[in-house]
Amino acid sequence: MDFGILVKAVPRSETVRYDAATRRMVRSGTDLVLNPFDQRALRVALELRRPGESVSVVSMGPPEAEVPLRAVRSLGADRVLLLSDPALAGSDILATARALARGLQRVGHEMVLAGSRSTDSETGQVGPEVAALLGIPVLTGARSVQRDLTGSGFSIVVDTAVGWTSYHALAPLLVTVGEKIGKPLKPPSEYIPAAPGHDVERLSVEALGIDPAHVGDRGSPTVVGLVTEAAPRRSPRLFATGTVEGRVRAAALEVQRLYSRPAEESPPYPSASASLSDEKEVLVLVTDQEGAIQPLALGILSGLRRSLPGHWPSAVWVGRSPDPAPTSQIHRAGAVRGYFVRIEERRVDSRAIALAVHSVLEVRPRASALVFLSDPLGREVAGQIAASRGLGLIADAVSVAPDPDHGTVWSKPSFGGRTLAQIYCRTRPVVGTVRPGTFGRISEFAPTRDLAWEKFSAVPPRSPVEWTADGWETEGIAELSGRDVVVAVGMGVAGPEGVARVRASVARWGAGVVATRRVVDMGWMPPQLQVGLTGCSLTPRLAVLLGVSGSANHMYGWACAPTLLAVNQDPKAPVFRDVDVGIVGSVEEVLPPLVEALAPILTPSSTRPVRQPDP
Do 143 and 172 reside in the same domain of the chain?
A: yes
Residue 612 lies in a domain: no
Do 329 and 251 reside in the same domain of the chain?
A: no
Do 204 and 285 reside in the same domain of the chain?
A: no
> H-helix or E-strand containing 588?
helix 587-598
What sign does the CA torsion over 23, 28, 30, 32 have? positive
Per-residue b or e along 518-538, where b marks 16 or more CB atoms closer than 10 Å to that residue's CB: bbbeeebbbbbbbbbbbbbbb
Distance, C-alpha 424 to centroid of its chain: 19
Residue 590 lies in a domain: yes
- Among residues 410, 441, 462, which one ends one of the domains? 462
Per-residue b or e along 103-137, where b marks 16 or more CB atoms closer than 10 Å to that residue's CB: bbebbbbebbbbbbbbbbbbbbbbbbbbbbbbebb
Least confident of 166-175, 205-214, 390-399, 435-444: 435-444
Residue 226 lies in a domain: no
Counting residues of the chain whose pLDDT is more than 90, the rounded percentage is 61
Q: Which residue has the higher pLDDT, 509 or 73?
A: 509
Say what the pLDDT of residue 186 is.
Answer: 74
> H-helix or E-strand containing 498?
helix 496-506
Mean pLDDT, the chain, whole residue set: 87
Domain at 107, CATH number: 3.40.50.620
Distance CA 272, CA 549 (A): 44
Which amino acid, residue 326? P
Do 79 and 181 reside in the same domain of the chain?
A: yes
Distance CA 332, CA 93 (A): 34
Say what the pLDDT of residue 528 is.
Answer: 82
Do 481 and 455 reside in the same domain of the chain?
A: no
Non-local (6+) Cβ contacts of 273 within 8 A are none
- Among residues 462, 491, 516, which one ends one of the domains? 462
The count of other CB atoms within 10 Å of the CB of residue 612 is: 21
Distances (CA, A) of 155 to 143, 149, 211, 235: 11, 11, 38, 51
Do 36 and 133 reside in the same domain of the chain?
A: yes
Q: Which residue has the higher pLDDT, 135 or 19?
A: 135
274 pLDDT higher than 80: no
Do 454 and 478 reside in the same domain of the chain?
A: no
Distance CA 428, CA 123 (A): 20
User: How does pLDDT run across 530-581, given as a tens digit for each residue?
Assistant: 998 777 888 899 999 999 999 888 998 898 888 999 999 999 999 999 999 9
Do 381 and 300 reside in the same domain of the chain?
A: yes
Residue 467 lies in a domain: no
Q: What is the number of structural domains in the chain?
A: 3
Residue 439 lies in a domain: yes
Distance CA 537, CA 184 (A): 28
Say what the pLDDT of residue 23 is.
Answer: 52
Q: What average pLDDT does the segment 303-315 reach?
A: 90
> H-helix or E-strand containing 138?
strand 138-147
Q: Give the single-character DSSP code of 31.
A: -
Distance CA 319, CA 293 (A): 10
Residue 73 lies in a domain: yes
Do 336 and 207 reside in the same domain of the chain?
A: no
User: How does pLDDT run across 360-377, given as a tens digit for each residue?
Assistant: 999 999 999 999 999 899
> H-helix or E-strand containing 422?
strand 419-425
Residue 269 lies in a domain: no
DSSP, collapsed to helix, strand or coil, labels residue 198 as coil
Owning domain of residue 181: 3-220
The pTM score is: 0.86
195 pLDDT higher than 60: no
Domain at 583, CATH number: 3.40.50.1220
Do 445 and 507 reside in the same domain of the chain?
A: no
Do 321 and 184 reside in the same domain of the chain?
A: no
Residue 273 lies in a domain: no
Do 428 and 530 reside in the same domain of the chain?
A: no
- Among residues 404, 433, 462, which one ends one of the domains? 462
